[in-house]
């Protein structure tokens, strides 16, 4: 998305630059530069040459002093033209809001509050989603899943029944790791990421995140809804088929992607070339099941991501599932074609 935004920004700037340069070339700026003798004489020679039928012959008859005056005046005139062009460009880009592109990097960290073992009242700990603006390199390296920290410098934004939303500036937020000895005083707080197979998707609570390794069956076209572009992608992992070889129900997940409208072009979250590929998705949100079409439904949010290589360190927990899905796909060409046909009948 960032690459697409940058491309659109550059294209809009280029369009304005071309227009300003074109207008500049139509205007002839040959006024005197200064009132000194050299400038006046250089301008006089330029006007004579512009009216001459054969300026080359005139220049051949000029003295070295006249040629130097002419060359000096041309250099000054070109410098003036470039200066005026630069000012015109800056003014036009400023008026169009394209003088500069201010982008602030950020990262998001999902956290859970720690509960002391000595607390008599046990309750479900509150979860939080922290947005760190301009994170430091140290934060990007040290903030790892399963680590416990004391944090200072957070600002609450909003809250719902399950999640507290906070934000911080990378330079002001302090993340201090807890020692192993200090962690012993708290209840267990970390559940490592797990791979969820399609056959176990029913066990995932509604609206909760899950990670899955799948084979892409069908990639839908982008379509506009409100002020956003949407895309549906249909995937499978073969787990339900392997459990019930003759039953092809509940073998598909329909994943909804949302992309921003960027100018006249739109960025497709999933490329159609990925059909047949094994992809690892992280942080998908489970949505209400489509019982009419017998489909599981998931949503990819701005916190979701995917990897084309299940050996990637960021999705190492999906390595075995990814390898299994890929093996299944290699020997299940006919089943995949049937699933594509089923998807086509659904969307038609």
pLDDT tens, residue by residue, 204-231: 999 889 999 999 999 999 888 877 889 9
What is the structure's pLDDT at 262? 60
Instruction: State the Cα–Cα distance between residues 166 and 175, nearest whole angstrom.
Output: 14
The domain that holds 331 is classified in CATH as 2.40.50.140
Residue 101 domain flag: no
Same domain? 205 vs 255: yes
d(CA 251, CA 2): 34
Instruction: Give yes or no: residues 326 and 229 share one domain.
Output: yes
Q: Are residues 133 and 215 in the same domain?
A: no
Pair of tokens at residue 29 = 């700026």
pLDDT digit string (tens) for 21-40? 888 777 655 555 656 667 77
Q: Do residue 115 and residue 54 come from a single domain?
A: no
Q: Domain range holding 111?
A: 106-183
- Report the candidate in 120, 83, 104 with the shortest Cα–Cα distance to residue 5: 104
Asked whether the beta carbons of 175 and 143 are under 8 A apart, the reply is yes
Name the residue with tokens 């301009």: 134
Residues 225 and 338 in one domain: yes
Q: What digits encode the pLDDT tens for the residues 101-156?
A: 888 899 999 999 998 888 877 777 788 999 999 999 999 988 989 999 999 999 99
Q: Name the pTM for this structure.
A: 0.68
Domain end, chosen from 95, 116, 136, is at: 95
Whole-angstrom Cα distance, residue 296 to residue 332? Answer: 21
Q: What integer pLDDT is reported at residue 175 of this predicted model?
A: 94
Give residue 246's pLDDT: 52
What pLDDT digit, counting tens, does each position of 47-96 carry? 888 788 888 888 888 888 888 888 888 888 888 888 888 998 999 999 98
Residue 282 has pLDDT above 70, yes or no: yes
On whether the CB atoms of residues 46 and 30 are closer than 8 A, the answer is yes
| Domain termination residue (choose one: 40, 64, 95) | 95
Who wins on pLDDT, 114 or 262? Answer: 114
The torsion of the CA quartet 194, 199, 200, 203, rounded to 10 degrees, works out to: 150
- Nearest to residue 248, comparing CAs of 146, 334, 320? 334
Give me the pLDDT at residue 228, please: 83
Choosing from 183, 209, 242, the residue where a domain stops is: 183
pLDDT at 101: 86
Confidence of residue 295 (pLDDT cuts 50, 70, 90): very high
Number of separate domains in the chain: 3
Kindly state whether residues 221 and 341 are assigned to the same domain.
Answer: yes
pLDDT confidence tier of residue 319, bands split at 50, 70 and 90? very high
């Amino acid at each position: 998305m960032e690459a697409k935004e940058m491309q659109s920004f550059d294209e809009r700037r280029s369009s304005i630059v071309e227009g300003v340069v074109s207008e500049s070339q139509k205007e002839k700026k040959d006024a005197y530069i200064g009132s000194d003798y050299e400038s006046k004489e250089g301008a006089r020679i330029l006007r004579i040459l512009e009216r001459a039928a054969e300026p080359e012959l005139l220049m051949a008859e000029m003295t070295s002093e006249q040629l130097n005056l002419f060359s000096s005046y041309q250099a000054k005139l070109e410098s003036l033209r470039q200066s005026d062009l630069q000012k015109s460009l800056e003014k036009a880009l400023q008026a169009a809001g394209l003088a500069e592109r201010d982008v602030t990097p950020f990262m998001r960290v999902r956290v859970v509050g720690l509960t002391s073992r000595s607390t008599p009242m046990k309750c479900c700990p509150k979860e939080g989603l922290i947005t760190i603006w301009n994170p430091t390199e140290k934060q990007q390296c040290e903030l790892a899943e399963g680590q416990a920290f004391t944090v200072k410098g957070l600002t609450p934004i909003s809250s719902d029944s399950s999640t507290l939303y906070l934000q911080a500036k990378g330079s002001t937020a302090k993340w201090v790791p807890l020692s192993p000895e200090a962690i012993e005083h708290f209840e267990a707080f970390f559940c490592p990421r797990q791979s969820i197979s399609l056959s176990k998707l029913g066990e995932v609570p509604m609206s909760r995140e899950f990670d899955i390794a799948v084979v892409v069956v069908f990639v839908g076209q982008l379509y506009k809804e409100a002020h956003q572009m949407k895309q549906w992608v249909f995937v499978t992992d073969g787990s339900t088929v392997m459990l019930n070889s003759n039953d092809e129900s509940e073998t598909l997940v329909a994943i909804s992607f949302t992309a921003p409208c960027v100018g006249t072009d739109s960025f497709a979250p999933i490329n159609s070339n990925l059909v047949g590929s094994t992809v690892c998705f992280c942080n998908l949100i489970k949505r209400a099941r489509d019982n009419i079409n017998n489909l599981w439904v998931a949503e990819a949010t701005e916190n979701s991501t995917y990897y084309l290589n299940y050996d990637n360190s960021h999705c190492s927990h999906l390595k075995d599932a990814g390898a299994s899905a890929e093996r299944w796909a290699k020997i299940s060409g006919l089943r995949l074609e049937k699933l594509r046909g089923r998807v086509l009948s659904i969307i038609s």
